Amino acid sequence: MSRIDSLIAAMTLTEKLGQLTMATADSAITGAVMTLDLESGIASGEIGNVINLFGAERVHAMQRRALENTRLRIPLLFGFDVIHGHRTIFPIPLGEAALFDPRLWEASAREAAREAAADGIHLTFAPMLDVTRDPRWGRIAEGPGEDAFVAQMMARAKVNGFQGTGLADTASLAACAKHYCAYGAVTAGRDYAPTEISVRSLSEVYLPPFQAAVAAGVATIMPAFTDIAGVPMSAHRALLTDYLRGQLGFKGVLISDYNAIAELINHGVAADLAEAAALSLKAGIDMDMMANAYRAGLPVALDRGLVTMADIDAAVGRVLTLKEQLGLFDNPYGRGGPESATSLAARRQQAREIASGSIVLLKNDKDALPLADGRLALIGPLADAPGEMRGCWSAAGIAADCVSVLAGLRFALPHQSIRYAEGVDIDSADESRIAAAAALCDDADTIVLCLGEAANMSGEACSRAHPGLPGKQNALVDAVLARAKGKKVIAILFSGRPLVVPQLAARADALVAAWAPGSEAGNALADILTGHAAPSGRTPVSWPRAVGQIPIYFGERPSGRPANPEDHYTSKYLDEDNAPLFPFGHGLSYGDIAYSSLAVTPALAREGDSFAVSVMLTNRGPRAITETVFLFVRDKVASVTRPLLELKDFQRKALQPGESGRLRFALPASALKFLDANMRPVFEPGEIEILVGPSADRARLLVQTVYLA
């Protein structure tokens, strides 16, 4: 008999339910505050898993309580939200997505895992793989943006980065793919709201990132808070057990979100906690996070015949298997201990390079950037706000460890005059300091505005109906632009989402999307602003001109009446352009890139063939750059309507001034299969457009037509 079978055979019902219960400590708050009497619950075997505790000394002390006081001496599992770094904070995931570099996505997860494991952590609740096309939703900050292919690539990279060479490695964490699934499609961008999506969208957009995570060997998966077509994910047996475990072969642990099982009562599908617990267990959820539903509800459900002991034993077996895979039975104190100063310094340098690469130069008129020599006025509520640079979900990050924009520029430009004024708070009605801040423009050669959201304005429970500049920041912008009198004005936006800022984009000479850059924010921005590094970030999500365009994304299906300004009865707005302010993939550099000589062979392919796609790039500018190149396809005539553009690959290429180089893609013809009207994958003969270029702006794409046989 295996160790796990022996333990299950020896367990009381209370001890079994303890292994299915996850309770919170007090190192961070990641949900509604509830108390499950943690220490006594651990000692009695009623709690077998803990979140929100970090620090090797504290973690090991609690682990000793379990191992020395419980009857069966089963080790605790410690989980924490290591979303974009642990103590060293990398850019928020949406910012990291702007890198379009799976190698760096994996590297940051690897470093975060090492740092968190040194703090005693075993499990991270990342990566978040929710495809999101609505920037009103605050959790867009935590994910890969609007495209399913990008999300799949990020899923593989992050799972591999967190889990490393294997779960038993004491420098690795068990990853948790979340939120399964379609959480990014919540109604009106409102957190926790229902989702209304088609089976096609579910299958083609929202499920593929989780398919990729399972294929990469993800250890755990977290269902979403929401429902799909009336069935809450915490009770969705068809998607959790039949599809995820049955069709995809997922063998890991399903962990509920915070209090989600008890919330089945609010959803209206369970009358009490016993019914809620039974629904979730039967659906396939193994571990109950902070609802106390399994511990309190499953004994009642057993008595009512709603669940069986075999159901409970199966879930316990999966939890114990995860603990065994993590090496906790044989080495329960293996994670934890100091790291070398060399490792910490290298991690900070990596955070700086990744933050620099995540920054997107959205606009650069009059060569406003890089900064020229001269006096600088640095104005805005986010110019000297180190804590805000962390962004959402940086629970172990310390504000004082972050570099502000002011500090970064003063270090990078020690001999240059830099005068600073906050002007306004991020989100208040106070305008009393605007005039004094604008007056700094009089003695400046260049003005840099640092604007945007506070860290706590994105993430969970941070939906915004008006995702523009909060507070009186627009009044500050007006005052500065009126006072600037033709001087160059550079606006840097800090946010967890695309902001709706069409007027600022039109009036500023340069516009920079910095997202929330993390610990090395100021240094990374100084690298970009001074030209020490060239901007290479590309936006992973479309930027709307107006809230009324939302949701907005490049992969839209064609209309029978495409927009035509000469025809009233076509698909367009009366009061706004259809096009985004900035399209998916947009981002400028300090170079001047020319695309030419697109070549695709063969001209005719069968399902087992592969297309060789190549394009010539030439850097006609004076600076070295790194260009991101996107490969899209368009199936012009099919049995069901296909998107106007589908992303199939992307690559980056570094080019020196004056250098030309050919970039090559291999596109399997099988990648052009799609789901037919009966939701079955098909490979249909016909005409296919291959499109290559710098963004999803079709006017900037080179096109060649090929055929499928």
Residue at which a domain ends, from 546, 581, 614: 546
- Residue 603: name the closest of 706, 709, 672 by CA: 706
Domains: count for the chain: 2
Q: Note down the domain range covering 619.
A: 593-708
Residue at which a domain ends, from 511, 546, 581: 546
Q: Are residues 427 and 482 located together in one domain of the fold?
A: yes
Cβ(138)–Cβ(497) under 8 Å?
yes
Per-residue pLDDT at 378: 98
Cβ atoms < 10 Å from Cβ of 2: 11
Q: Are residues 539 and 677 located together in one domain of the fold?
A: no
Q: Are residues 529 and 675 located together in one domain of the fold?
A: no
N residues, the chain: 709
Of 13-27, 138-152, 692-706, the one with minimum mean pLDDT is 13-27
Per-residue pLDDT at 129: 98
- Answer yes or no: pTM beyond 0.75: yes
Q: Are residues 408 and 528 located together in one domain of the fold?
A: yes
Q: Are residues 608 and 524 located together in one domain of the fold?
A: no
23 within a domain of the structure (yes/no): no
How does residue 28 score in pLDDT terms, banded at 50, 70 and 90? low
- Residue 137: name the closest of 583, 464, 539, 501 by CA: 464
344 within a domain of the structure (yes/no): no
Query: Using CA atoms, how far apart are residues 158 and 84, in angstroms rounded to an integer?
Result: 10
Query: Using CA atoms, how far apart are residues 525 and 492, in angstroms rounded to an integer?
Result: 9
Cβ(662)–Cβ(615) under 8 Å?
yes
Residue 36 scores a pLDDT above 70 = no
Of 35-49, 193-207, 248-262, 367-381, the one with minimum mean pLDDT is 35-49
- Kindly list the catalytic residues: 257
pLDDT tens for 585-637 read: 999 999 899 999 999 999 999 999 999 999 999 999 999 999 999 999 999 99
Q: Are residues 529 and 604 located together in one domain of the fold?
A: no
Q: Are residues 502 and 616 located together in one domain of the fold?
A: no
653 within a domain of the structure (yes/no): yes
Q: Are residues 372 and 513 located together in one domain of the fold?
A: yes
Cβ(669)–Cβ(605) under 8 Å?
yes
pLDDT tens for 295-340 read: 999 999 999 999 999 999 999 999 999 999 999 999 999 999 899 9
84 within a domain of the structure (yes/no): no
How does residue 1 score in pLDDT terms, banded at 50, 70 and 90? confident
Q: Are residues 446 and 377 located together in one domain of the fold?
A: yes
Residue at which a domain ends, from 522, 546, 570: 546
What CATH number is given to the structural domain containing 661? 2.60.40.10
| Average pLDDT in the chain | 97
Per-residue pLDDT at 31: 54
284 within a domain of the structure (yes/no): no
What CATH number is given to the structural domain containing 485? 3.40.50.1700
Q: Read off the pLDDT of each residue in 483-500 and give the average, rounded to a whole number.
A: 97
Please report the sign of the dihedral spanned by the C-alpha atoms of residue 448, residue 451, residue 456, residue 459. negative
Q: Are residues 498 and 637 located together in one domain of the fold?
A: no
Q: Are residues 447 and 530 located together in one domain of the fold?
A: yes
Q: Are residues 386 and 510 located together in one domain of the fold?
A: yes
How does residue 39 score in pLDDT terms, banded at 50, 70 and 90? confident
- Residue 256: name the closest of 231, 235, 236, 285 by CA: 285
Q: Which two tokens stand for residue 291?
A: 């609802």
Cβ(84)–Cβ(124) under 8 Å?
no
506 within a domain of the structure (yes/no): yes
Alpha carbon of 9 to those of 296, 297, 307: distances in Å? Answer: 21, 22, 18
